[in-house]
Amino acid sequence: MSSLSLYAWLRPIIFALAPELAHRLTLLALRSGAAFPGALPASAQARLRTRVWGLDFANPLGLAAGFDKDAEVADALLRSGFGFVEIGSVTPRPQPGNPRPRVFRLAEDRALINRLGFNSAGLARVEANLRRRRAAAPEGGVIGVNLGRNKESTDAGADYLAGLRALSPLADYLVINVSSPNTPGLRALQGRDQLAALLAPLRAALSERGAGRGPPLLLKIAPDLTAEDRADIAEVALAQGLDGLIVSNTTIERPAGLKSRFRGEAGGLSGAPLFAPSTALLAEMYRLTGGRLPIVGVGGVASGAEAYAKIRAGASLVQLYTGLVYRGPGLPKRILTELAALLRHDGFATVAEAVGADHPDLAPPGAGGDPAAERSG
Ligand SMILES: Cc1cc2nc3c(=O)[nH]c(=O)nc-3n(C[C@H](O)[C@H](O)[C@H](O)COP(=O)(O)O)c2cc1C
């Protein structure tokens, strides 16, 4: 029985559990050595290998933030086929998040709504977990760290700075998350002046730490932005020397046609209904930044065709979360096998060649130069 059909059989049992309990049990299984089935044929592996920000990725498919918030199971996830794992969001001090229930399965819609509100073990614990992992000499694999802020904090900038100082030595890339819908006031940081004021000290702090520019600094944005916000973010991102964007977080919109009885729950919607709006935003941000900033495309990916559509729209890398809940542990391998076949069919020898293929008038990020050399130059 393939792992996908096995999961189809197990899913009703898993779905009988509350979503957060099912998630905790999955983390426990991964901690105790379980790994999802991962290995790909050698020909697919060669086509999927990619280099972004001077970092080598075994493949362009990552696990999005929110699954391994406290860096408990990153290596098991890397062994399961993901090319990279983004841990977090991490808040400076531990905080419990919102009262339960706060995660809802919209099964008919292949979607989730969550209003977790940054439940986090805090920087000290996450730092210890990342140090332990590093000491165990893992095989490699890229680990991104997504930073949030405490709910009670009055100084968001200080929170992100604390996260950056504690975790930049342990992160292959850092993400400033200003787009979760469940922390009051957070998304207002996406406004032009607020964003510039937030990012400048972070950029400066990374440079101060010696060793060049430090890890690449990315910004994760919401899908619910006005045209003005989108243009402002592109401009500030380029002016502040950001290294990339993650597009997108969950949406507070409720697209017409949602069927589940949970559709009215407050929080951020992820999964299938987010695919179209997040991919449209990705294409727009790629155009607004002239294809000059690598973009991580996330939202509603559950097939190779969807991952490929994000890449063609301008994503150098792709992430998912909700697809895993509905399709199970065999999903990364299936997506990567399908993606390699699609690239081959269209005559692309590498992922990088296909990035932004839907915008033939724009050059892909890093074209005409080595992105690592550009970053350190
Ligand atoms: C339960 C849950 C928790 C999440 N927590 C975070 C988080 O802590 N930080 C963050 O930047 N994004 C978080 N996300 C958003 C995901 O990283 C991703 O951007 C979004 O779910 C869209 O991708 P998907 O449709 O593949 O799930 C969370 C999503 C879910 C479903």
What is the residue with the minimal CA distance to atom 18 of ligand 1?
249
**Greater pLDDT, 307 or 76:** 307
Going by C-alpha positions, the residue among 218, 142, 210, 211 that lies closest to residue 174 is: 218
Residue 119 in contact with residue 151, Cβ under 8 Å?
no
Tokens for 223, please give them: 């899908």
Q: What's the CA gap between 166 and 202, in Å, rounded?
A: 13
The tokens of 181 are what? 């819908």
pTM as predicted = 0.94
H or E element that contains 165: helix 156-167
Q: Which fold has domain 3-376?
A: TIM Barrel (3.20.20)
Report how far ligand 1's centroid is from the alpha carbon of 97 (Å): 15
Q: How much distance in Å is there from the Cα of 52 to the middle of ligand 1? A: 22
**pLDDT at residue 366 is higher than 60:** no
168 catalytically annotated: no
**Closest atom, ligand 1, to C-alpha of 302:** 26
Report residue 363's pLDDT band, with 50, 70 and 90 as the boundaries: low
| CB-based contact 64:321 (threshold 8 Å) | yes
What is the model's pLDDT at position 207?
Answer: 85
Of 88-97, 173-182, 242-251, 300-309, the poorest mean pLDDT is in 173-182
Rounded to whole angstroms, the Cα distance separating 218 from 213 reads 13
Query: If you take atom 28 of ligand 1, which residue's CA is the nearest one?
Result: 66
Report which DSSP code applies to 300.
Answer: S
| pLDDT exceeds 60 at position 169 | yes
Residue type, 18: A
pLDDT higher at 85 or 8: 85
3-state secondary structure of 88: strand
Catalytic site residue from 80, 89, 179, 180: 180
User: Higher confidence at residue 342 or residue 368?
Assistant: 342
Distance 43 CA to ligand 1 centre (A): 31
Q: Is 299 in the pocket of ligand 1 (CB under 6 A)?
A: yes
How does DSSP assign 19-71, residue by residue?
A: HHHHHHHHHHHHHTT--------HHHHHHH-EEETTEEESSSEEEPTTSSTTS
Which of 72, 221, 249, 281 is the pocket-test mutation for ligand 1 (most atoms within 8 Å of CB)? 249
| Cα 229 to ligand 1 centre (Å) | 21
220 close to 179: Cβ distance less than 8 angstroms: yes
The per-residue pLDDT for 140 is 76
Task: Tell me how far apart the alpha carbons of residues 342 and 24 are, in angstroms, rounded to a whole number.
Answer: 35
pLDDT of residue 374 exceeding 50, the answer is no
> What is the SS3 string spanning 331-350?
HHHHHHHHHHHHHHHCCCCC
| Tokens 């030595």 belong to residue | 169
* pLDDT for the residue 32: 85
pLDDT of residue 373: 40
pLDDT 10s digits, 88-110: 999 999 999 999 999 999 999 99
